[in-house]
Amino acid sequence: MAYSGKQHFSGDHVIRQLWTYMVRFIVDTGYWSVYKALRKTGGVDTYNISQDLTITALDEWLDLETTDAYNESVEGMEEGVDYEIDRPLGRIKFLSSGSATQGSTVHIDYEWHREGLVFYSNGISGEEHIFVGMRPYIDDNGVNGHIFLKAYTYFQEEMDFADTSLGEPTNKLTFELWSSDTDLWLFVNPQRIIGVGCIQGYYNCFYLGFFNRFALPHEYPYPLCVISSDIDGYSYASTDDDRQFLINSHNIAFVVENNTWVSKYDSGNPGWLLPHQRSTDYRPMIHYPEGKKRVLFPVYIYKDGNLYGQLDGVYGAYGAITSSESEITIGGDTYICFENVFRHGWGDFMAIKCA
């Protein structure tokens, strides 16, 4: 498994920096590849950035971070000629106002399209077919944003990002962001991607990919789920709901039998995870004496009396001594704890396995 550790983003274009880091980290783990970068020519917002950058060296990824260097091959470029280079994360245009020689500074106009990226993995067994999608969005002011989350039982070339014929049906599940100092943690393995963000002391999270199914692969080929703290339109600082997916999973979509998607994003009702529903009756109240061993509780997916499986690497961490971002070591494995938005009660913490 790959664990990013705590990553901090600040300064200009925080959301753009964070999105760039997420894509690079997910791909660089070697577990996932970009199956398709969906670029729509119409109906897609463009975030234009103009700045002077220095050409340094060859790199297959477009450097979107706010640095003074742009990594790209300059072979064949001529001064005074406009060039456009395409990459999965966006397009960059070299304007004719600058030189295109190695080590020189050129003026560029960068267009960051709201492109959906579909990632693909063969799973832990190496024989699975797992398709998940992410698409960033920023409002016109470049302040409020989120990442749309999708998953697909199969992705076909003619499909677009929001397709629901084979994909998650709500088009609403999101990871909320803001143009402010942000901390990010990523937990990635071959079957799922987990992300946790903290913005001004408020925590939110998502789970994307396979869970551990209670069936054989041929009986249940696509144990896919998308779980998020938020839906489109919620603020990262909304305190109306217990938005952490361990406590109240009202934002969830997953595949049941016959490869059929079901979804729920009703904040007024409990969700489909056990035993961690909103009612404290479902959450054990445990006080651990100082220095004593802890117990972590698995999280099960259920619906209509059926248990479908267990979230991979996610646990309930109950007890009065838990604090956010603290680490727990059990049997040689390390877990990091996160609170429910801003709450610090005995039943408001989850633990995610990081090593």
pLDDT at residue 106 is higher than 70: no
Residues 123 and 269 in one domain: yes
Which pLDDT score is estimated for 118? 93
| Residue 46, beta-bridge partner list | 113
* Cβ atoms < 10 Å from Cβ of 290: 5
Does residue 143 or residue 334 have the better pLDDT? 334
Residues 119 and 99 in one domain: no
Half-sphere exposure of 148 (CA within 13 A, CB side): 22
Does residue 272 or residue 113 have the better pLDDT? 272
Q: Among 251, 260, 255, which Cα is nearest to 228's?
A: 251
Q: Render 184-203 in DSSP notation, one character per residue.
A: EEEEEETTEEEEEEEETTEE
pLDDT interval class at 69 (50, 70, 90): very low
Max Cα separation, the chain? 71
* Cβ atoms < 10 Å from Cβ of 111: 13
| Domain limit, last residue, from 79, 113, 147 | 113
Which pLDDT score is estimated for 335? 94
Residues 10 and 88 in one domain: no
In angstroms, rounded to a whole number, what is the distance separating the alpha carbons of residues 169 and 167? 6
Helix, strand, or coil (residue 94): strand
The model's pTM? 0.83
Residues 153 and 262 in one domain: yes
- List Cβ neighbours of 29 (8 Å cut-off, separation of 6 or more): 2, 188
Q: Among 162, 190, 187, which Cα is nearest to 32's?
A: 190
Identify the domain containing residue 290 by its residue range: 2-42+114-353
Split into its structural domains, the chain has a count of: 2
Strand 116-121 to strand 33-38: parallel, antiparallel, or no bridges (unpaired)? antiparallel
Residues 11 and 134 in one domain: yes
Residues 6 and 152 in one domain: yes
Does residue 261 or residue 340 have the better pLDDT? 261
pLDDT in tens, 222-244: 999 998 877 765 555 555 554 55
Q: Mean pLDDT for the chain?
A: 76
- List Cβ neighbours of 136 (8 Å cut-off, separation of 6 or more): 15, 16, 19, 114, 145, 146, 147, 148
Residues composing the chain: 355
In angstroms, rounded to a whole number, what is the distance separating the alpha carbons of residues 176 and 322? 25
Locate 267 and state its tokens: 């904040």
Residues 92 and 28 in one domain: no
The mean pLDDT of 333-344, rounded to a whole number, is: 86
The mean pLDDT of 21-46, rounded to a whole number, is: 77
| Domain limit, last residue, from 90, 113, 136 | 113
pLDDT interval class at 44 (50, 70, 90): very low
pLDDT at residue 353 is higher than 60: yes
Which pLDDT score is estimated for 189? 97
pLDDT interval class at 196 (50, 70, 90): very high
Strand 69-70 to strand 46-55: parallel, antiparallel, or no bridges (unpaired)? parallel
Residues 162 and 104 in one domain: no
pLDDT in tens, 250-291: 688 899 988 899 887 755 455 677 765 544 555 566 666 666
Residues 344 and 209 in one domain: yes
* Cβ atoms < 10 Å from Cβ of 189: 21
Residues 134 and 200 in one domain: yes
In angstroms, rounded to a whole number, what is the distance separating the alpha carbons of residues 80 and 94? 10
| Domain limit, last residue, from 95, 113, 131 | 113
Residues 161 and 219 in one domain: yes
Query: Which residue type is seen at 102?
Result: Q
pLDDT interval class at 3 (50, 70, 90): very high
Q: What angle do CA 207, 209, 215 make, to 5 degrees?
A: 115
- What SS3 string covers 277-314? CCCHHHCCCCCCCCCCCCCCEEEEEEECCEEEEEEEEE
Which pLDDT score is estimated for 263? 84
In angstroms, rounded to a whole number, what is the distance separating the alpha carbons of residues 94 and 172? 36
In angstroms, rounded to a whole number, what is the distance separating the alpha carbons of residues 53 and 59? 15
Contact 147, 184 (CB under 8 A): no
pLDDT at residue 89 is higher than 90: no
Kindly state the percentage of the chain with pLDDT values over 70.
63
Does residue 188 or residue 228 have the better pLDDT? 188
In angstroms, rounded to a whole number, what is the distance separating the alpha carbons of residues 82 and 99? 11
Task: Look at 4-18, 52-66, 202-216, 237-251 and tell me which has the smallest mean pLDDT.
Answer: 52-66
Residues 35 and 131 in one domain: yes
* Cβ atoms < 10 Å from Cβ of 108: 21
Put residue 143 in one of left, alpha, beta given phi > 0 → left and psi -120 to 50 → alpha.
Answer: alpha
